[in-house]
Structure 1
Amino acid sequence: MCVLTYIPKSNKGFILTNNRDEALARPKAIPPKKYIINGKQVYFPKDAQAGGTWFATSDDYTLCLLNGAFEKHIHQPPYRQSRGQVILDFFKYETVDDFIGNYSFEGIENCTLIIVHTKNNLQLCEFRWDGQQLHYASKNPNEAHIWSSSTLYPIEIRIAREKWFADFRTQNPNLSNKQVIDFHLNGGTGDTHNDMRMNRNDELLTQCVFQVMKENEYLSFSFHDLLSEQELYYRVL
């Protein structure tokens, strides 16, 4: 839920990759599997503590939620519900417009929601909830993008990560999904507090990497559990 990269591929394809940076004291995530929500097949890893998720994919939509909106905010519990429920709630609606027009973010902590829509034309949407207002931005789906959580990474680190990502793409013009995973594991300057795979005193660290790839109408995803050093690969026809 703390860093996300998007890379477009041919034929409405894309690679979406996320690092989950989380407190070691929090139970580690349950690996992704198929769930049925409102009659839809949805694949996602589950937060073992709250039961929600930060990343999910289906035939038509792939979503990721990052903590924070624009800048680091003051944590002010209690909240009406966990941010991890937002993505699961999304699949109860038929369209993005239906969700945004009818869903209430009131009482939910600040967050950024990225939605990739592939049903018709490829669309990339960004929604930022600042605790009071929902901000929408349409992103160019034919360009690469990177997002980093504002709760963990100040603006100078987020800008530095944008440069790492740009340099990485320049050096690797025809990116494979494995190269993107490698960037998420090894990108940075050697500063373990802020590298792509981070570790802050063995208390807060990157616990897993989840990647979804859609290409030529095929959907596949991988889950890398960095705590147990296990890798899982899936392909959905």
Structure 2
Amino acid sequence: MCTVTYIPTENGIFITSNRDEKINRKPASFPVTEKLGESVLLFPQDGQAGGSWIALKNNGDTGVLLNGGYVSHTPTPPYRKSRGLIFLSILHEYSPIEKFKNIDLIDIEPFTLILFENKNLFECRWDGTNRHVLRLNQNKEYIWSSATLYSKEISGKRSDRFKNWRSHTTIDIESILAFHEFRDDNSNIDDICLDQGLLKTVSVTSITIGTRGAEMTYKDMLPDVKKRKTSSISFDTKTQLL
């Protein structure tokens, strides 16, 4: 929920998320599929609240959730519903961006939602009072860091690290996972893979979107459960994403 990259290439689009969470939270399950009407979602499921932070739909729509809006906020629970469940209900819709614009977000904790829908890329934010939608250039690459964990200064340093890595790297799933798993010996807060005692990067999830289908790779990062799994979705032949 805390570090997301979007990288378009000639061979496909890569959307990758680090989940930075307390290590005593119940582990997520993967793969999980959920059908609602014609919509089928593939995602890792949070073991505690039942929602998710990244999901892929069978038409190629993809979404990633980050905690917080523009700035760090002080939580004021109880909230009406978890952000992870709100996220899944948005992505299940025929048009997730329209659902975000109209869904009831009163008493929902602030969040940022990155949506790739029908070849379009959107940055959606709920700051606890208002919602904001920014359409982005889907042909450019981006990195986002959660507002609840990273200051603007630290986010800037991580952005510089991303740009430097990108300029010297051939992009494929292995190089992207290596970037998202980067941690130096000093365990700095601007490391891409977080290690701050009880708060760590507990998993890395990457989606590769091609012309006929997409693949989701999920990697547990905790030593006692460290493993890597991959699951895929094939698109209808009418779906043209790239």
TM-score after normalising by structure 2: 0.90
Structure 1 counterpart of 2:154: 157
Report what 1:196 is aligned to. 192
Distance 1:234 1:167, change over 3 A: same
Name the structure 2 match of 1:68.
68
Contact 1:124 1:139 in 2 (8 A): yes
Indicate how the Cα distance of structure 1 residues 148 and 18 shifts in structure 2: closer, same or farther if over 3 A, else same: same
- CA displacement at 1:35 relative to structure 2: 1.7
Q: Deviations over 1:131-186 (max 9, x none)?
A: 000011111100000000010111111000100000011011x3111101000001
Partner of 1:184: 180
Q: Is the 8 A contact 2:115 2:122 kept in 1?
A: yes
Q: CA deviation at 1:187?
A: 5.6
Tell me the distance in 2 between the aligned counterparts of 1:188 and 1:55. 26
Partner of 1:132: 129
Contact 2:154 2:189 in 1 (8 A): no
The separation in 2 between residues aligned to 1:97 and 1:117, in whole angstroms, is 8
SS at match of 2:181: helix
Q: Which residue of 2 aligns with 1:208?
A: 203
Q: Identify unmatched segments of 5+ residues in structure 1.
A: none
Contact residue 66 and residue 113 of structure 2 kept, 8 A: yes
Aligned length: 231
Q: CA deviation at 1:232?
A: 0.4
Residue type of the partner of 1:222?
A: T
Q: Indicate how the Cα distance of structure 1 residues 91 and 171 shifts in structure 2: closer, same or farther if over 3 A, else same.
A: closer
> CA 1:96/1:34 → structure 2, altered by over 3 Å: closer, same or farther?
closer
* Deviation of 1:221 (Å): 1.3
TM-score, with length taken from structure 1: 0.92
- Distance verdict in 2 for CA 1:198–1:53, change over 3 Å: same
- Shift, 1:21, TM fit: 0.4
1:1-35 CA-to-partner distances (Å, cap 9, x unmatched) read 00000001227x31000000000111111112222
Q: Percent identity?
A: 32
* Structure-2 separation of matches of 1:159 and 1:188: 18
After TM superposition, where is structure 1 displaced by more than 6 Å over at least 4 residues in a row?
Answer: none
Equivalent of residue 168 in structure 1, options 165, 169, 180? 165
1:91 Cα deviation from its structure 2 partner: 3.6
* Counterpart position of 2:239: none
